[in-house]
Amino acid sequence: MNNELDINVDHEETARRSIGARRNPASQEAILDAAEALLRENGIAGFSIEAVARRARAGKPTIYRWWPHRTALMLDVYKRFKNAKSFPDTGTLRGDLVSFLENHLLGFWQGSLCGTVYRAVVAEAQTDKDAAELLQAYQAERKLHSARIVERAKARGEVPEETDAELMIDLVVSFAWHHLLLGQLDEAMNRVPQVVNMILKGVPGYRG
């Protein structure tokens, strides 16, 4: 029993020493772990940099150097989940868009911490300029990755080369965002095939 306690104490001391002035993977993960735990336990209302600092045994100045506000920290917690998912590759544009909506957007947010956190990030971006810039940068990056779905369809000859890949992704994501913010993810999931069909019908030269 004493050995077990000693191991736990040593682990905590190591974690505390790793959180210093310089950003490193160990300290970053310790803070993100603490942030995720607090979001799960207390929700958005109970989430703050101060609470994360206490949980991670880190100094507030250190956290503020890396994450200038709580929105930035929440978004990084969200990214850890998002980055773990690979983009769909079903072999058809329609299949990829359906999977993208069902698994990477609506289904990813549905009944999970991810949906709660992302909705909070979007909400805070409405009144906070820094949060808005952060969200816009993240969305621009995600759109570039998501547009590969359409670029693959071009290579297969499903859509013409001049098809606006980013606009198509915007249409898909807009549908998902709308229902996320309204708390209607269940209803949206039931309409995914219909939405994708309607979007594809508006693509000149689509061969599905």
Residues 16 and 34: their CA atoms lie apart, in Å, by 13
Phi, psi at residue 167, to the nearest 5°?
Answer: -65, -40
Instruction: Return averaged pLDDT per consecutive 10 residues of the chain, 208 residues in all.
Output: 38 40 76 96 94 94 93 95 81 97 94 93 95 95 94 97 97 97 96 97 92
In a shared domain, residues 180 and 136: yes
CATH number of the structural domain spanning residue 7: 1.10.10.60
- pLDDT, residue 8, reads 37
Residues 90 and 87: their CA atoms lie apart, in Å, by 10
In a shared domain, residues 45 and 102: no
Residues 43 and 32: their CA atoms lie apart, in Å, by 15
71 and 125 Cβ atoms separated by less than 8 Å? yes
Q: Helix 129-146 crosses helix 148-156 at what angle (to 10 degrees)?
A: 20
CB under 8 Å to 142, separation ≥6 — which residues? 82
For residue 76, is it within any domain? no
Query: Which one, of 23, 24, 172, 29, lies nearest residue 96 by Cα?
Result: 172
- pLDDT, residue 10, reads 40
Token pair for residue 88?
């769909």
Instruction: Look up the domain containing 154 and give its range.
Output: 81-201
Query: Which one, of 115, 93, 79, lies nearest residue 189 by Cα?
Result: 115
In a shared domain, residues 94 and 51: no
- pLDDT, residue 22, reads 56
Token pair for residue 53?
């600092």
Q: Helix 148-156 crosses helix 165-182 at what angle (to 10 degrees)?
A: 140
In a shared domain, residues 63 and 85: no
- pLDDT, residue 192, reads 98
Residues 18 and 112: their CA atoms lie apart, in Å, by 30
Number of domains in the chain: 2
CATH number of the structural domain spanning residue 118: 1.10.357.10
In a shared domain, residues 54 and 153: no
- pLDDT, residue 160, reads 97
pLDDT mean across residues, the chain: 88
DSSP classification of residue 156 = H
In a shared domain, residues 138 and 174: yes
